[in-house]
Structure 1
Amino acid sequence: MNRRILAPFLVLLLALSTMTLGPAFAQNTPTQSGSGRGTVNAEEMELQRMLQGGRVEGRTTIPDARSEVLIQPQGKAWRDFHNVTLAWVGGIAVGGMVLILAAFYLTRGRITIEAGPAGRTISRFNILERANHWMVASSFIVLGLSGLNLTFGRHLLLPVLGPQAFANVSLWGKIAHNFVAFPFTLGIVVMLLLWVKDNIPNGRDIEWFKMGGGLIGKGHPKAGRFNGGQKMVFWITVLGGGIVAASGYFLIFPFWGEFGVADMQLAHIIHSVLSVLMVAAMIAHIYIGSLGMEGAFDAMGSGEVDLNWAKEHHSLWVEQEMAKARQVVTPSGVKPAE
């Protein structure tokens, strides 16, 4: 008897619950979009409608008005550049340079001193020049590796190291990248002050390039303290490194003055493209200064180079140094004893 009385009451209660909760449930239940691409609610449909115009802005109560922009169309182009274009540019530049140098070594071999070691040396770089060179070089290696990790690390290192180890490597790499930028910049400035007078291009540099710099075929073109190739490396380092450093500081300390997100994206594009091109150029520089040429490393190692090496690659500079030495031994105005 009790069940017969309770049954109508339960049916009525269920009906009232459905009438009360139905509209609220309908507002939060996703509806199928007409495009068949998934389910979207009312807010998402409104957002998609706004996105058709490209830029989406709103209102904010914080002082920075730039936070009012929710969607920036240029950001999509920047993302595509970072994920696709930069990877191709870097891969072709760096990978291509490695392949070229490998092919050159297999066909040409190591460039030796044609006359053989003289057994005598001549001073090429002093301690200040060598110390500054190694500060720039070591800083550049840290910056290059940590920067390349941002472009290629997800594809190359993540599968090998795993998520946690890769996250730690990337975190410390980013910290090192930001702080090592300061000694790198200082070294660029010092390098400019020390060597700019010896790296002014002249007509001999054109002849040097025409003859392949002594790297191709026989014979060595005349050159001063720095030959055409070294001058090119110098200006790539000073000008390219200067622009990379300036754009890098712009990214470390963002939103100077009226600069916005679009300016940051442009700075990143300049920074990243020049960086991968510099990495490719420095790989060639490292090769020539170590494995590729006999006696070249001594210039930045001990600072003393073999005399025959110096005569073959920097004959005009050797003549100048010899003339200076004779002036020291025999001061002007003093006649040698008979």
Structure 2
Amino acid sequence: MMNYLARIRSIIIVALTILIVAAPPVLAQRLGPDGAPDPTASVASEQQLLQQSPRIEGHIAQPNERARVLMQPAGRQWDYFHEIILRWLGAIAILGMIAALGAAYLIMGRLRISKGRSGRKVRRFSPFERFSHWVTAVSFVTLALTGLNITFGKIVLLPMIGPEAFSSLSQAAKYVHNFVSAAFVIGLVLIVALWIKDNILRKVDVDWVKQGGGFIKSKHAPSGRFNAGEKLVFWFALGAGVGVIISGYLLMFPFYVTDIAGMQIAQVVHAVIAVLFVAVIIAHIYIGTLGMEGAFEAMATGDVDLNWAKEHHDLWLAQVLASNERQEQPWTTSADQRHRSLS
């Protein structure tokens, strides 16, 4: 027993000796040049930590695991995208589209009805179809304006109206953007349900493209209810709409589905799709108003001029006229029979 205790005592003495010998270098590392203790001497610098991993993160005590990220170097990349890249992308896409349409208007002018107005009208869209379109259109314009404020508001509106007014305006725009999104979802669902059957690509759409879409005055471009250009806009709007809806609601309800990194990706996707969406819809609005005579009447009143329908949607017009004749034929036949019976 005495031997066992003696061995333990010897081990403890050796261990203490080693610690005493090794302590001065360790203490020396923690002392500054003036001999005072330096608590940061053995701490890795921020730059060293950032070089180790681009995704290194600092966390805080937070019950929600997805909300624990306090510092994330990848956030600097997201900030650079939002403050620099997105602004350039948005400016090039939107202003470039406006410039291209302005040049087209100066070169070609407004596309007129070549034979002039006939004075006869053809029903193109029902009241419910127009309602669905305008719900989607008005909500989209509202979302576009309030959304673009997030990207361009600080460099366009802030210098003009000042920080207090800009802060109030931006806060109101955020709430409008969130609530109007529900109307956009409803409108998109309605127009897809109403028009998806008429927007299936067919062989006639290839011929429409070959003929220049009717913009080459010497060539006729056959088309059904919707031409190839309108069909491409429809499918783009459907895909882009689904993209901004999913990414938008991920941002509207943060941390319910994804973490901060996923939300950064959702914001990038939402912003890129949105600016491209705005650029395409600007072209769509131009063609339906300034670019083509008689086109806006389809959504304003639901009726279009007969000659306009012949020039831009001749195959659809033929189907409509044939359908009207079939609907009138039974009444004409019964009237003839009644006339013969009376005579």
Q: TM-score, normalised by structure 1?
A: 0.82
Question: Is the alpha carbon distance of 1:80 and 1:220 closer, same or farther for their aligned partners in structure 2, counting shifts above 3 Å?
Answer: same
For the Cα contact (< 8 Å) 1:330–1:336, is it kept in 2?
no
Residues 1-338 of structure 1 correspond to what in structure 2 (within 5 A)?
Answer: 47=46, 50-53=49-52, 54=54, 57=57, 60-257=60-257, 259-331=258-330, 334=333, 337=336
For the Cα contact (< 8 Å) 2:132–2:190, is it kept in 1?
yes
Superposition deviation, residue 256 in structure 1: 2.5
> What code does the residue aligned with 2:239 have?
L
For the Cα contact (< 8 Å) 2:207–2:221, is it kept in 1?
yes
Q: 1:31 is matched with which residue?
A: none
For the Cα contact (< 8 Å) 1:226–1:314, is it kept in 2?
yes
Give the stretch that moved more between structures: 262-271 or 56-65.
56-65
Superposition deviation, residue 165 in structure 1: 1.4
Once residues 57 and 315 of structure 2 are traced to their aligned partners in structure 1, the CA distance between those partners, rounded to angstroms, is: 65
> What code does the residue aligned with 1:191 have?
I
Percent identical? 47
Q: Secondary structure at the match of 2:330?
A: coil
Question: Is the alpha carbon distance of 1:69 and 1:335 closer, same or farther for their aligned partners in structure 2, counting shifts above 3 Å?
Answer: closer
Q: Secondary structure at the match of 2:290?
A: coil
> What code does the residue aligned with 1:152 have?
F
> What code does the residue aligned with 2:248 have?
G
Once residues 148 and 120 of structure 1 are traced to their aligned partners in structure 2, the CA distance between those partners, rounded to angstroms, is: 42
Superposition deviation, residue 204 in structure 1: 1.1
Once residues 132 and 122 of structure 1 are traced to their aligned partners in structure 2, the CA distance between those partners, rounded to angstroms, is: 20
Question: Is the alpha carbon distance of 1:333 and 1:295 closer, same or farther for their aligned partners in structure 2, counting shifts above 3 Å?
Answer: closer
Q: 1:3 is matched with which residue?
A: none
Q: Secondary structure at the match of 2:200?
A: coil
Once residues 188 and 62 of structure 2 are traced to their aligned partners in structure 1, the CA distance between those partners, rounded to angstroms, is: 40
Q: For 1:175-223, what per-residue CA distance to the aligned partner results, in whole angstroms no more than 9, with x for missing partners?
A: 1111100010011111111000100011111121222211233333110
Once residues 136 and 234 of structure 1 are traced to their aligned partners in structure 2, the CA distance between those partners, rounded to angstroms, is: 12
Once residues 195 and 142 of structure 2 are traced to their aligned partners in structure 1, the CA distance between those partners, rounded to angstroms, is: 24
For the Cα contact (< 8 Å) 2:83–2:151, is it kept in 1?
yes
Superposition deviation, residue 59 in structure 1: 5.7
Once residues 312 and 71 of structure 2 are traced to their aligned partners in structure 1, the CA distance between those partners, rounded to angstroms, is: 57
Aligned-CA RMSD value: 2.3
Consecutive unaligned residues of structure 2, counting only runs of 5 or more, are 1-38
Once residues 72 and 215 of structure 1 are traced to their aligned partners in structure 2, the CA distance between those partners, rounded to angstroms, is: 52
| Count of residue pairs brought into register by the alignment | 297
> What code does the residue aligned with 1:244 have?
V
Once residues 217 and 325 of structure 2 are traced to their aligned partners in structure 1, the CA distance between those partners, rounded to angstroms, is: 34
Superposition deviation, residue 82 in structure 1: 0.8
Once residues 216 and 148 of structure 2 are traced to their aligned partners in structure 1, the CA distance between those partners, rounded to angstroms, is: 31
Once residues 182 and 277 of structure 2 are traced to their aligned partners in structure 1, the CA distance between those partners, rounded to angstroms, is: 18
Q: For 1:145-170, what per-residue CA distance to the aligned partner results, in whole angstroms no more than 9, with x for missing partners?
A: 11111111111111111111111221
Give 1 or 2 for the bigger CA radius of gyration.
2
Once residues 122 and 280 of structure 2 are traced to their aligned partners in structure 1, the CA distance between those partners, rounded to angstroms, is: 28
Question: Is the alpha carbon distance of 1:178 and 1:202 closer, same or farther for their aligned partners in structure 2, counting shifts above 3 Å?
Answer: same
Give the stretch that moved more between structures: 248-257 or 187-196.
248-257
Once residues 79 and 179 of structure 2 are traced to their aligned partners in structure 1, the CA distance between those partners, rounded to angstroms, is: 25
Q: Secondary structure at the match of 1:330?
A: helix
> What code does the residue aligned with 2:292 have?
M
> What code does the residue aligned with 1:175 have?
Y
Superposition deviation, residue 329 in structure 1: 1.2
For the Cα contact (< 8 Å) 1:188–1:242, is it kept in 2?
no
Once residues 55 and 277 of structure 1 are traced to their aligned partners in structure 2, the CA distance between those partners, rounded to angstroms, is: 29
> What code does the residue aligned with 2:316 have?
W
Once residues 138 and 272 of structure 1 are traced to their aligned partners in structure 2, the CA distance between those partners, rounded to angstroms, is: 19
Q: For 1:128-158, what per-residue CA distance to the aligned partner results, in whole angstroms no more than 9, with x for missing partners?
A: 0001100100000010011111111111111
> What code does the residue aligned with 2:300 have?
G
Once residues 156 and 45 of structure 1 are traced to their aligned partners in structure 2, the CA distance between those partners, rounded to angstroms, is: 42
Once residues 330 and 141 of structure 1 are traced to their aligned partners in structure 2, the CA distance between those partners, rounded to angstroms, is: 45
Once residues 55 and 277 of structure 2 are traced to their aligned partners in structure 1, the CA distance between those partners, rounded to angstroms, is: 35
Give the stretch that moved more between structures: 41-50 or 72-81.
41-50
Question: Is the alpha carbon distance of 1:271 and 1:303 closer, same or farther for their aligned partners in structure 2, counting shifts above 3 Å?
Answer: same
Question: Is the alpha carbon distance of 1:286 and 1:55 closer, same or farther for their aligned partners in structure 2, counting shifts above 3 Å?
Answer: closer
Q: 2:14 is matched with which residue?
A: none
Q: TM-score, normalised by structure 2?
A: 0.81
Q: 1:32 is matched with which residue?
A: none
Once residues 158 and 187 of structure 2 are traced to their aligned partners in structure 1, the CA distance between those partners, rounded to angstroms, is: 33
> What code does the residue aligned with 1:79 have?
D
